[in-house]
Amino acid sequence: MVNEFNLNESLIQFETSVSTWEEAIIKSAQPLLDGMYVDQGYIDAMIESVNEYGPYIVIAPKVAMPHARPETGSKKIGYSILKLEQPIGFSEAPEHQVELLVALSCVNAESHLEILQFIVEVLSDAERFEGALKATTKTELLDIFSR
């Protein structure tokens, strides 16, 4: 599988910790903002969605996929990754503790399904999933999301 969504080192970050889930979303989406994939309104909408619907973006143990509706400010298709050493809670529940955030930028419903399917395919492979959670370098994450 090729990395069809152009993940590169500028879209990957590692942090020891963040103070809040809101900060985690902002930080995870910052490379998308910097790369002009999204505008600030899109990031605000990501946070508003979690405030409105709860921690629905926690899609697997330790993994969240922040995203918003395309019309809130998505400009091009892509994703960025934030890996945290210390998990951040999207609720008090143990199943909402997150270490890996994959922020999505989807310009329409079709691209949303394509990128979601790609990320789920990567993370449903047990070896790649564990590798992503254990990764300590951008190169390791690029490899996991590019094969």
Residue with tokens 């490379």: 31
Torsion of CA 64, 143, 140, 30, to 10 degrees: -50
Find the catalytic residue in 67, 83, 96, 138: 67
Chain-centre distance of CA 123, in angstroms? 12
- 67 included as an active-site residue: yes
CA 111/CA 63 separation, integer angstroms: 20
Question: Which residues are designated catalytic?
Answer: 67
